[in-house]
């Protein structure tokens, strides 16, 4: 990502990032719970791969919050 494009995020963007973290978290837990009970090795393997992808998504979302941390104003603005 190019740092030149970085802007302070809006309240709406923050909400979407937080909701997305919640979505990915739920998906990871569902995949893990299903992988634990499935008898089908192909499905188990696929679910484990999905968990890795979703874990990477979580990383991206958390990193984007961290990257915008310093740009965020400390006082409410117009």
Partner 1 sequence: MYYQNQNQSAFMQEEDLLYTILADLKRTVREYTTAATESSCPMVRQMFSQLNNDTLRLQGELYNLMKQNNMYSTSGKALRQDLDKQIQDARNTQQQCRQFVQQKTSGMSPYAHAPNVPLHQQNNQNPYYM
- Please report, as ranges, the residues that interact with partner 1 according to CB under 8 A: 1-2, 5-10, 12-13, 16-17, 19-20, 23-24, 26-27, 30-31, 33-34, 37-40, 42-43, 46, 50, 53-54, 57, 60-61, 64, 67-68
Query: CA distances (Å), 9 to each of 17, 34, 57, in order?
Result: 10, 36, 19
**3-state SS class at 56:** helix
> Minimal distance in Å, beta carbon 24 to partner 1?
8
CA-nearest of 16, 34, 28 to 55 is 28
The distance of closest approach from Cβ of residue 42 to partner 1 in the complex, given in angstroms and rounded to an integer, is: 7
């Amino acid at each position: 990502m190019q740092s030149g494009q970085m802007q302070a995020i809006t309240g709406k963007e923050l909400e979407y990032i937080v909701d997305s973290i919640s979505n990915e978290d739920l998906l990871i837990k569902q995949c893990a719970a299903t992988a634990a009970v499935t008898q089908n090795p192909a499905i188990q393997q696929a679910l484990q791969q999905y968990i890795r992808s979703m874990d990477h998504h979580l990383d991206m979302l958390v990193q984007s919050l961290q990257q915008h941390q310093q740009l965020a104003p400390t006082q409410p603005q117009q």
